[in-house]
Amino acid sequence: MGMSVTISEAAEADAEQILKLQYLCYQSEAELYGDYSIEPLTQTLDSIKAELTSGTVLVARLGDEVVASVRGTVDADGTARIGKLIVHPRMQRHGLGGRLLDAVERRLGAAGAAKCFQLLSGHRSEQNLQLYRKHGYAPVGTQYVNERLTRITLAKDIPADAFVTSA
């Protein structure tokens, strides 16, 4: 009998697994853009621990192993920023990224302060862009970084009644 993947809030004890998974997952992005100095590959363990206390960090577990993660924060203006959605390569293309994206949207939207969701992707990251479009995100801006990378900002509004629960 197989194990089920569960999604929950990350704990400080998960920081090292998240860092290792992040390093593994961003290798393909670094190769795609020819840049191995990208922030996810140079981020420190202390920095991830700080993110655990300053924002929302969710993990997906298969048994005790963290196989996916996502982070989010809500700005003072009500923009819920989602980032570093990572899924272990062996778990990709099975819907786990979409489940995590839905979970972090619910978590960030449930507090009531968020008015819209926003995330970033590189212009060559077609699988990521496809996932985001499938979940209702649309491009709202681009930022030329260098000859190898243009960042695309994607967003979607949160309907006023999206996270209202009945009593």
* Average pLDDT, integer, range 131-146: 95
Inside any domain, residue 166: no
Specify the pLDDT at position 52.
Answer: 95
Question: Does some domain include residue 165?
Answer: no
Boundaries of domain holding 85: 5-157
Average pLDDT, the chain: 92
The count of domains in the chain is 1
Tokens of 85: 């959605």
Stretch 40-44: mean pLDDT, rounded?
Answer: 96
Q: Please state, in angstroms and as integers, the Cα–Cα distance from residue 108 to each residue in 79, 86, 116, following that order.
A: 10, 18, 10
Nearest to 101 by CA among 80, 132, 125: 132
Alpha-carbon Rg of the chain, whole angstroms?
16
Instruction: Give the span between the Cα atoms of 68 and 85, in whole angstroms.
Output: 7
Average pLDDT, stretch 99-126? Answer: 92
Dist CA 61 CA 156 (whole Å): 27
Q: What is the pTM of this model?
A: 0.91
Q: Is residue 162 part of a domain?
A: no
pLDDT at 114 over 80: yes
In a domain, 164, yes or no: no
Residue 22 lies in a domain: yes
Summarised one tens digit per residue, pLDDT across range 143-166 is 998 888 899 999 999 876 666 554
In a domain, 167, yes or no: no
Q: Is residue 37, in this structure, part of any structural domain at all?
A: yes
Return the CATH number at 151. Answer: 3.40.630.30
Q: What is the mean pLDDT of residues 134-142?
A: 96
For residue 57, pLDDT beyond 90:
yes
pLDDT(49) > 70: yes
Domain contains 137: yes
Report residue 158 as tokens.
Answer: 């949160």
Whether pLDDT at 111 is above 80: no
Distance between CA atoms of 122 and 119, rounded to whole angstroms?
11
What contacts 142, CB < 8 A, 6 or more positions away?
A: 123, 150, 151, 152, 153
